[in-house]
Structure 1
Amino acid sequence: MAFGELVKRHLVDTRPLGVPEYRRIWLGQAVSHVGVGVTVVAVGQQVWELTHSSFWVGLLGMANLIPLVVFGLWGGAVADAVDRRKLLLVGSVIAWAATLFILVQALLGLNNVYLIFAAVALNATGFAITGPTRGAIIPRILDRELVPAANALNSLVYSMGAVAGPMIGAVVLASGGFAAAYSVDALLFAGSLYAALRLPSLPPLGDVTRPGARAVLEGLSFIVRSPVLLMSFVVDIIAMVFAMPRALFPELTADRFGGSMFALGWITSALAIGSVAGALFSGWVGRVSRQGVALVVVIAVWGLAVAAAGLAHDLWLVVAFMAVGGVADVISSVWRQSILQLYAPDEMRGRMQGAFMVVVAGGPRLGDLRAGATATALGVTGAWVGGGIACAVIVVVVGLSVAGFRNYRAR
């Protein structure tokens, strides 16, 4: 096989960008994710400067998590019952209003941490509505065979934002302050809003269930009764709870690299760097049909890569192994998202995406709790390495024990 053909087969599949509606969504996300990364850095730094407490900075995670859980499930149920374009617009306006709110408090110099938390919670509410809705829209505007490629492209822009946004945010904060940073996010968010405005009408298909507790419970019941869907959630929870080492980054940096901010920056960015590389070379991902077994394999690789990083004492090795973990993580995300979007009927897709958001948001935070608690008892190396090994072993045992998931082939 010629080198050019080999590269073409393995580079990210860009065919979904040929569909104008998806291309606008993708470009809007590419722009707005950078702004989100800028705000993430700015919010954390502003809360730190107001309180000088890492505990308060950590509480920002809870301000995000609670709305994501509550409105993620509810937003998914609504996405199955109304025009998804209109709902995406509503969620986008809520998120944009939150960004403008946090910008105004910085311009006025209010210096009130509770206002910042309120803005973060409001922004998370908007994201909890737009996330499931956008995920449910993808299979409506693309052919089925292009859905895995679209998810890889989505992961690519998310990861690039996670790398570029914080770096740009640090520069803007140093030169212009908090208001300048929030202004960047407010301006870049217009890309997502424009993409939503240009979508065609997307009314619900199939049976429509009135949004509410009953609709949410129907969605959760559908997951429990579908071994393939249920296991796609279970293996991700295993990966995040047992092997996510994020809470241990500062302690590892202090123990092995003298507390260097340079080292902390590289370790923190390593996962996203790996995710960018994995998404860029994801052209082969859509050609894998045994996605159940494939998910088990890549999550086991994730766990082992994390464990290896915890054993490394050279910075470049820690970063390299965590980047390998990032590659495995982004491939896992593409397959899990594709299973959800294609396995479930359209009238369930919003609720499936809502549940997916809850798992994606909650798993890493439970992993932070697990890592911090076990580090207290076992030390940073024991918590980091032990979690990675436990993830690899448990995901193989659990993932391969369910025949429906083990034998699942993408349709």
Structure 2
Amino acid sequence: MAHRRPRVAMNRALIDIGPLRASPDFRRLWFGQLLSGLGGQMAVVAVLYQVWDSTRSTIWTGAAGLAQALPIIVFGLFAGALVDRVDRRRFYLVAKAGQAVCAVLLTVQAFAGGPPLLVLALVAIQSCFVAGGGPAARTFLSRLLPADRLAAGLALNRISFQGSMLLGPALGGLIIAEFGTGGGFLIHAVTFAVALWVAVRLPPMPASPQPGLRGVTAGLRFIKTNAPVRGALLTDLAATVLAMPISLFPLVNAERFGDDPRTLGLFLTAIAVGGVIASALSGTFTRLSPGPVMFAGSLTWGVSLALFGLTPNAWAALALLAVAGAADTVAVVSRSTVIQTHTPDSFLGRAAAAEQIVGQAGPDVGNMRGGLVAAGSSTTLALVSGGLLCVAAVAAIAARTPELRHRAAA
């Protein structure tokens, strides 16, 4: 019997694929998000490269992130309140259709040689639809999976996202080198056909009616008074706004990798490598109390990026980005588990919208911060200061949120 123990321990450490077996709807949703995520990551590289190639400015590459962030910040909670009032599947379908139209327009402008301002405008319009579709999609898991499968489902979603990050940027760099940014945007547009098909196949998901503006204020009040949810959102906000490095990647690529678009994709790919490894071994942390795990992942993220800013060797820098990617995955899965398990269904759309604002707009605001700091000082100072500020902020949040430091299951 002793020889079985290592095998059992390994099985418990590996990602739990039970949700994919148990729920055909979740399986289709997961596959659709994998493909659309792959196209989306190729589009991220295309936007960065087109804007950088036109302007050679980290302020402009940071502004590209801000164009994506502002609609989510402005409309996110209103969209979340709407998600809690209507059929969530139908709302998601409309949002995905809008994103698909914007993806087609991005493709057209790229082949036509559009100016960077047009790129930012289309990214901002597409982000308006993301502000609604994102919260709707985040509410699906609690309808498609039982409570005891929720953490495993979130880990599977994370490995889907990280798999897209692993392959998308590298493929995007290769396609951009061969066919220009239009090729990357074209694949991005095609993958939305799969996402739309998946949305059509999902079952109806009616929500409890909530009054419009009063629903928004009630959602804000819920987040303010629910200590675990508030602490989880603040932790991710600290990590993303203070330490996000992506707007600096084109400059680091120019300094260390000869400004080749093929290697620009390696930075995002390195983060994804660590994320995929952490997701594949997510059984090691999805069975633990999510609060302490979230804090540990966020602290490791900040330390890794501070060291990345100090490392002169390019390959060591890529290794540190892989560590940061693993830490990010641990933190994100744990944060989502905290929010999902501490939020009643009637508030789930608004809590999901707040999570999206922090999880997606936070990095974009952080990218703008990094670009501005680098433009006024240096890449090294922008990275190191961001990582250290992240560590300090997360430690302060952990000290002030005892509900998330308990090791008992949440």
TM-score by length of 1: 0.89
Deviations 1:149-172 (A, max 9, x none): 111111111112122122222333
**Structure 1: 5+ residue runs without aligned partners?**
none
* Aligned equivalent of 2:34: 30
- Aligned twin of 1:394: 393
Cα drift, residue 292 of structure 1: 1.9
Seen in structure 2, the aligned counterparts of structure 1 residues 180 and 392 have a Cα distance that, compared at 3 Å, is closer
Q: Provide closer, same or farther for how the CA distance between residues 179 and 363 of structure 1 changes in structure 2, counting only shifts above 3 A.
A: closer
Pair 106,373 (structure 1): closer, same or farther in 2 beyond 3 Å: closer
CA-to-partner distance for each residue in 1:22-59, whole Å, 9 max, x for gaps? 00000001111111122222333344555565544443
- 1:126 paired residue number: 129
Corresponding position of 1:237: 237
Task: State the Cα distance separating 1:105 from its structure 2 match.
Answer: 3.9
Separation of aligned partners in 1, 2:46 and 2:251: 22
Contact preservation (8 Å) 1:250, 1:259: no
- Matched with 2:157 is 154
Query: Which residue number in structure 2 is paired with residue 278 of structure 1?
Result: 278
Q: Which amino acid aligns with 2:342?
A: Y
Query: Which residue, 72, 88, 99 being the options, matches 1:95?
Result: 99
Listed as ranges, the matches of 1:348-367 within 5 Å are 348-367=347-366
1:3-22 correspondence runs (5 A): 3-18=6-21, 19-22=23-26
Change (3 A) 1:386 1:8: same
Match of 1:339 in 2: 338
Task: Give 3-state SS (helix, strand or coil) of 1:209's partner.
Answer: coil
Deviations 1:119-165 (A, max 9, x none): 32222122221110010111111001111111111111111212212
Residues 136 and 14 (structure 1), Cα distance of their counterparts in 2 relative to 1, 3 Å cut: same
Amino acid at match of 2:329: V
Contact 2:52 2:60 in 1 (8 A): yes
> How far apart are the structure 2 equivalents of 1:368 and 1:49?
18
Contact 1:304 1:392 in 2 (8 A): yes
Question: Given residue 89 of structure 2, which amino acid in structure 1 is its aligned partner?
Answer: R
Give, in whole Å, the separation in 2 of the partners of 1:192 and 1:35: 11
Query: What residue number does 2:47 align with?
Result: 43
Superposed displacement of residue 219, structure 1: 0.7
Q: Aligned partners of 2:287 and 2:270: how far apart in 1?
A: 27
Residue of structure 2 in register with 1:73 after alignment: 77
**Shift in alpha-carbon separation, 1:366–1:98, aligned structure 2, 3 A:** closer
Note if contact 2:219-2:347 (Cα within 8 Å) is conserved in structure 1.
yes
Give the 3-state SS of the residue equivalent to 1:90 in structure 2.
helix
Q: 1:276 to 1:44 in 2, by over 3 A?
A: same
Could you say if the C-alpha distance between residues 170 and 132 of structure 1 is closer, same or farther in structure 2, counting changes exceeding 3 Å? same
CA shift digits 1:344-397 (9 cap, x unpaired): 110100000111111112322333344445556774444433432332243223
The question of whether the paired residues in 2 share the 8 Å contact of 1:148 and 1:285 is answered with: no
Q: How does 1:272-311 map to 2 (within 5 A)?
A: 272-289=272-289, 291-311=290-310
Contact 2:52 2:250 in 1 (8 A): no
Quote the Cα distance in structure 1 between the aligned partners of 2:365 and 2:132: 22
Distance 1:56 1:380 in 2: 15
Structure 1 residues 329-357: Cα deviation after superposition (integer angstroms, max 9, x where no partner)? 11110011111112111010000011111
Equivalent-residue separation in structure 1 for 2:56 and 2:313 (angstroms) = 31
- Contact (CA 8 Å) 1:67, 1:121: kept in 2 or not? yes
Identity %: 33
Separation of aligned partners in 2, 1:49 and 1:323: 26
The 1:298/1:117 distance shift into structure 2, 3 A limit, reads closer
Aligned to 1:209: 210
- Is the contact between residue 84 and residue 346 of structure 2 (CA under 8 Å) also seen in structure 1? yes
Structure 1 residues 402, 156: CA separation in 2 closer, same or farther (over 3 Å shift)?
same
Count of aligned positions? 405
1:97 Cα deviation after fit: 1.4
1:387-411 CA-partner distances (Å, limit 9, x unpaired): 3233224322331332223237444
Distance in 2, matches of 1:118 and 1:97, equals 14
Give the Cα–Cα distance (whole angstroms) in 2 for the partners of residues 232 and 139 of structure 1: 19
| Contact map agreement 1:303 1:388 (CA 8 A) in 2 | yes
Aligned alpha-carbon RMSD (Å): 2.6
Moved more, 327-336 or 54-63: 54-63
- In the alignment, the residues of structure 2 paired with residue 41 and residue 317 of structure 1 have an alpha-carbon distance, to the nearest angstrom, of 22
* Maintained 8 Å contact 1:11/1:282: yes
* Residues 1:171 and 1:8: Cα distance change in structure 2 (over 3 Å): same
Q: Tell whether 2:193 aligns with 1:190.
A: yes
